[in-house]
Amino acid sequence: MSASIGLTSALSSYTTGSYGQKTASAATQSTASSGTGTTATSTQAGSSATVLTLSDEAKALLAAMTAAGTSAAGGSALARAQAARAWLDQQYKSLGIGSALVDGQVAVDFTAQDRATLAVVAAGTGDLFTADEKKAAASVLQARFEDALAPHAVIARHTGDYASLYAAAADYLDAASPEERATPGWVARREAVTEGLAAARAIFGKAPDTGNQSDPVRAMLDSPAPGTTSPGKTATADTLAARARAALDAQAGRARDAGTELVFDGTRSGRMVDFESFDNRTLAVVAQNADGQFAVSEARAARKALEQRTRTTLLSAFTGSGGDPAARSVALIRQYSSMSAEEKALLGFSESFTDNVLKNYRTVTSIQNMVDAMNASTGSLLGGASF
């Protein structure tokens, strides 16, 4: 049984989706950036410039986005939008581009920005954002949603329990900040998920066809191909190998600059290789060494690092499950779903792994349901007994 869940976050084919926002006002286009509390913008329909003055609250949010690489908690939606406007202008200046989308792809790294910031951008709060910026933010929001719901989608497609998938979607949306909850998009999605949950509970065994374009679960299920928020998963193995080779060569050069050598074994003297900036797929590509451009010691060290990361992730997932066997199954499926083909091949994770986990999940949940039913029956008998 295939573990493929058919998710997508393909930004090149993204239109509006469940996170798309519509606005009747003229979009603004950034023309300059500033770190002093003002940013210049001009409308697409005209050439008149408008200077946006940041409030103290917006300045604090911008400082958090810029210095710490993340958005500060709390704050008004407008202040967050103003800070996001200034942050985007800074990114354009740094990258030498003028749009959040280049050739249909998101060109700005939103990784460090939280859901609240992405939500106000996608909603076009304050009429401060261009159509491309809103589309880029919306696509990243949908990608994060799909990544979070991926293991639940696997379970739904193998068990027919789509109600649990919609329940998980409701939990995800309910974890939104006040700023995100205040956007029309969040309200529409939450209502759509509520409708979908009711429909899924009424008909077991298939995904409900809500017919609601704001339904993020339906959008995820209807997507044609897997998606991810990680750029590394969209690059070819050859590209990742080339980048890894360059990164290792740079580390070796810095080690030589320090009068030592780069080593890949803790028993040797020198500067130990640093794989922190390598994502899991890149480590797998290095360990596989398909084109032979890595030394045996490099490939062995990459494999060791990947195995350690995987063990740590699984241990953390198991610890967070609270000893619940069903929760552990979900954690295992989440781990499997997040792995690239290279990781699965290297570590020996075949599709039968997911099938076995799902069998265990169904067994555990079946037993739990039987116990719950027995407890309910016993309680009913005791409650109706007379002494």
Per-residue confidence (pLDDT) for residue 27, from 0 to 100: 37
Per-residue confidence (pLDDT) for residue 355, from 0 to 100: 67
Report residue 269's pLDDT band, with 50, 70 and 90 as the boundaries.
very high
The arithmetic mean of pLDDT across residues 342-362, rounded, is 76
Burial zone of 199 (CB within 10 Å; 0-12 exposed, 13-18 middle, 19+ buried): middle
Phi-psi region of 263 (alpha: psi -120 to 50; beta: other; left: phi over 0): beta
Q: Which has the higher per-residue pLDDT, 197 or 154? A: 197
Element (H, E) at 220: helix 216-222
Per-residue confidence (pLDDT) for residue 68, from 0 to 100: 47
Cα(113)–Cα(108) distance, integer angstroms? 11
Cα(64)–Cα(209) distance, integer angstroms? 42
- pLDDT digits 0-9 by tens, 51-97: 566 666 556 655 555 554 444 555 688 888 999 999 999 999 989 99
What is the distance, to the nearest Å, from the Cα of residue 317 to the centroid of all Cα atoms in its chain?
A: 17
Instruction: Judge whether residue 378 has pLDDT over 90.
Output: no
Per-residue confidence (pLDDT) for residue 6, from 0 to 100: 34
Closest by CA position to 327, among listed 357, 305, 297, 367 = 357
Per-residue confidence (pLDDT) for residue 22, from 0 to 100: 39
Per-residue confidence (pLDDT) for residue 148, from 0 to 100: 94
The arithmetic mean of pLDDT across residues 108-123, rounded, is 92
Cα(153)–Cα(242) distance, integer angstroms? 34
Q: Which has the higher per-residue pLDDT, 155 or 170? A: 170
User: For residues 262 and 273, is the Cβ–Cβ distance under 8 A?
Assistant: yes
Instruction: Judge whether residue 354 has pLDDT over 50.
Output: yes
Per-residue confidence (pLDDT) for residue 172, from 0 to 100: 97
Q: Which has the higher per-residue pLDDT, 117 or 320? A: 117
- pLDDT digits 0-9 by tens, 170-192: 999 999 999 899 999 999 999 99
The arithmetic mean of pLDDT across residues 270-293, rounded, is 95
Report residue 368's pLDDT band, with 50, 70 and 90 as the boundaries.
low
Per-residue confidence (pLDDT) for residue 66, from 0 to 100: 56
Q: Which has the higher per-residue pLDDT, 360 or 334? A: 334
Chain mean pLDDT for the chain: 77
DSSP string, 95-135: HT-S-SEETTEE-S--TTS-HHHHHHHHTTGGG-S-HHHHH
Per-residue confidence (pLDDT) for residue 295, from 0 to 100: 97
Phi and psi, residue 101, nearest 5° = -120, 130
Eight-class DSSP state of 55: P
The arithmetic mean of pLDDT across residues 153-168, rounded, is 90
Instruction: Judge whether residue 230 has pLDDT over 80.
Output: no
Element (H, E) at 310: helix 296-320
Instruction: Judge whether residue 232 has pLDDT over 60.
Output: no
Cα(316)–Cα(325) distance, integer angstroms? 14
What is the distance, to the nearest Å, from the Cα of residue 126 to the centroid of all Cα atoms in its chain?
A: 26
The arithmetic mean of pLDDT across residues 292-309, rounded, is 96
Return the exposure string of 326-354: e unless at least 16 CB atoms fall within 10 Å of the residue's CB, then b: bbbbbbbbbbbbbbbebbbebbebeeebb
Report residue 120's pLDDT band, with 50, 70 and 90 as the boundaries.
very high
Phi and psi, residue 330, nearest 5° = -60, -40
Per-residue confidence (pLDDT) for residue 90, from 0 to 100: 92
Per-residue confidence (pLDDT) for residue 235, from 0 to 100: 84
The arithmetic mean of pLDDT across residues 328-348, rounded, is 83
* pTM (two decimals): 0.55
Instruction: Judge whether residue 322 has pLDDT over 50.
Output: yes
- pLDDT digits 0-9 by tens, 7-48: 333 333 333 456 654 333 333 333 333 344 444 443 333 333
Cα(292)–Cα(369) distance, integer angstroms? 53
